């Protein structure tokens, strides 16, 4: 009986596992069906949109070509009218001159015939008057009439090769692509932002520039957020836990028009944006509290982040996104200046060059727990970017009471970097960031 009961339990367990496997299999099949449906919809929607674009484009071409042809025809007809009027005008003037001569000759003939038939007593006087009149008219002077070879003979010269050229251009105008030459590849969450990466999927396409657009899920229009040659970009000012739609296109080398857009994809971040804490007298903050300006106040101290929003345990490049400090403008440097991260906020200090903090001074010196390292980075100047990259390396047991804890830190500045291990006596899942400047004029953007 015990063996039968065990066998029954085993069979029941196997049956339950098979049922769960069947359910999982069904869920996978249903998910694939939804994927197929989405693929169908994408093909149909993109085909409909492509048809509309093609019809609109060629209708516009037809209208433009008709307008251009009509304008050219009108120009040629006006040219014919001008040549005709200019050529007929001297012929009209010559005709008037000849008609006047004919009229004069008719009058002279009538006078001559009258003189010849006149009375003998008056004949001599009329003949003398007629002869003087005939001499005055200069009967041997005739107006010049141009020959037909000397007057314009209008004709239209139409080159039939235009039709051949147009035919070849029209037949090769426009292409239909089954997929865009670039596609979105990856979305990486950043505090208050998203790192968007894309890649080229057409081996024959040589890109010159890329164009990235995004929109909130509730918005109706996309807007440009990046145009350049890089294949990734950090989109800042992203609201956490809100879907944003992205798309990218490219411009081929030596071309002016952009390629078709990639398939739009959604991305979001769950990480709240980095913010400086408010209320420190020596610093003025932007509306988003991600930019701090050292003002003219004589008050000094360390400006900390609002919360420990830099999470360790992630392999991140802060030069591009998280917790990097972009120096927009610079003031007078001081050895006590600092940019860095710390375990906790400690008031009463005028620099992060203290225990439980790592930082870089504006002269490039690196400090770990208040001690200066032998390695030094380039000085921080206008336009410099300082980045921090940290990963957790735990040395010993870690509990609520504390323990040995090590972070591997990489600080980069102006294409140079230092790497070191930062040993702490407590576990740190997240860190504060901070800055301190002795003189006004320093402006720091954190992201």
- pLDDT tens-digit profile of 185-199? 999 988 888 999 999
Whether the CB-CB separation of 57 and 174 falls below 8 Å is answered with yes
- CA separation for the pair 24, 19 (Å, rounded): 9
Give the CA radius of gyration of the chain: 46
Nearest to 447 by CA among 219, 182, 237, 296: 237
Q: Tell me: the pLDDT tens digits for 321-343?
A: 333 444 555 678 889 999 999 99
- CA separation for the pair 437, 427 (Å, rounded): 29
Nearest to 219 by CA among 233, 236, 239: 239
0.85 exceeded by pTM: no
Q: Residues 404-432: what's their mean pLDDT?
A: 87
Whether the CB-CB separation of 321 and 195 falls below 8 Å is answered with yes
* 416 to 245, 326, 365, 378: CA distances (angstroms): 35, 15, 13, 8
- CA separation for the pair 141, 249 (Å, rounded): 83
DSSP letter (8 states) at residue 140: T
Q: Tell me: the pLDDT tens digits for 69-96?
A: 999 999 999 999 999 999 898 888 888 8
Q: Decide whether 182-269 matches 283-446 in CATH topology.
A: no
- Residue 122 corresponds to which tokens in the numbers above? 């008056």
pLDDT value at residue 237: 86
Share of the chain above pLDDT 90, in %: 42
**CATH superfamily of domain region 283-446:** SPRY domain (2.60.120.920)
- Packed helices 120-137 and 2-116: angle between N→C axes, nearest 10 degrees: 150
* Number of neighbours of residue 104 by Cβ within 10 angstroms: 13
- CA separation for the pair 215, 224 (Å, rounded): 9
- Residue 35 corresponds to which tokens in the numbers above? 């994927």
Q: Tell me: the pLDDT tens digits for 272-298?
A: 888 999 989 999 998 889 888 889 888
What are the residue boundaries of the structural domains of the chain, listed by start? 13-152, 182-269, 283-446
pLDDT band at 107 (very low <50, low <70, confident <90, very high): confident
Whether the CB-CB separation of 447 and 274 falls below 8 Å is answered with yes
- CA separation for the pair 346, 436 (Å, rounded): 13
pLDDT value at residue 322: 31
**CATH superfamily of domain region 182-269:** Immunoglobulins (2.60.40.10)
Nearest to 402 by CA among 433, 380, 424: 424
């Amino acid at each position: 009986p015990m063996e039968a009961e065990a066998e029954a339990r085993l069979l029941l367990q196997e049956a339950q596992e098979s049922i769960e496997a069947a359910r999982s299999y069904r869920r996978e099949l249903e998910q694939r069906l939804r994927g197929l449906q989405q693929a169908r919809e994408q093909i149909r929607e993109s085909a409909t949109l492509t048809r509309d674009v093609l019809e609109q484009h060629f209708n516009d071409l037809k209208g433009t070509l008709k307008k251009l042809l009509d304008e050219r025809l009108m120009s040629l007809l006006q040219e014919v009218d001008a040549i005709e009027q200019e050529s007929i005008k001297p012929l009209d003037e010559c005709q008037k001159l000849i008609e006047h001569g004919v009229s004069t000759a008719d009058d002279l003939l009538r006078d001559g015939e009258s003189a010849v038939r006149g009375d003998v007593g008056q004949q001599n006087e009329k003949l003398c008057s007629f002869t003087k009149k005939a001499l005055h008219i200069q009967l041997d002077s005739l107006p010049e009439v141009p020959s037909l070879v000397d007057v314009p003979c209008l004709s239209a010269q139409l080159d039939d090769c235009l039709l051949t050229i147009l035919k070849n251009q029209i037949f090769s105008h426009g292409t239909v692509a089954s997929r865009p030459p670039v596609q979105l590849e990856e979305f990486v969450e950043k505090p208050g932002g998203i790192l968007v990466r894309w890649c080229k999927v057409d081996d024959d396409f040589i890109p010159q520039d890329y164009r990235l657009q995004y929109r909130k899920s509730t918005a109706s229009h996309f807007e440009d957020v990046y145009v350049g040659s890089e294949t990734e970009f950090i989109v800042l000012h992203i609201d956490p836990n809100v879907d944003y739609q992205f798309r990218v296109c490219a411009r081929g080398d030596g071309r002016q028009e952009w390629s078709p857009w990639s398939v739009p994809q959604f991305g979001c971040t769950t990480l709240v944006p980095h913010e400086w804490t408010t209320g420190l007298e020596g610093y003025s903050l932007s509306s988003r509290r991600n930019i701090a300006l050292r003002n003219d106040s004589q008050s000094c101290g360390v400006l900390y982040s609002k919360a420990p929003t830099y999470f360790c345990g992630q392999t991140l490049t802060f030069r591009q996104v998280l917790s990097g400090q972009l120096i927009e403008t610079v003031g007078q440097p001081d050895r006590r200046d600092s940019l860095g991260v710390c375990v906790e906020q400690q008031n009463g200090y005028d620099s992060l060059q203290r225990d439980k903090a790592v930082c870089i001074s504006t002269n490039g010196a690196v400090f770990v727990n208040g001690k200066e390292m032998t390695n030094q980075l380039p000085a921080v100047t206008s336009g410099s970017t300082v980045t921090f990259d940290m990963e957790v390396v735990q040395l010993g047991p870690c509990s609520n009471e504390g323990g040995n804890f090590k972070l591997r830190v990489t600080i980069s500045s102006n294409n140079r970097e230092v790497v070191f291990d930062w040993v702490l006596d407590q576990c740190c899942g997240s860190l504060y960031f901070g800055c301190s400047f002795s003189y006004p004029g320093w402006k720091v953007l954190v992201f």
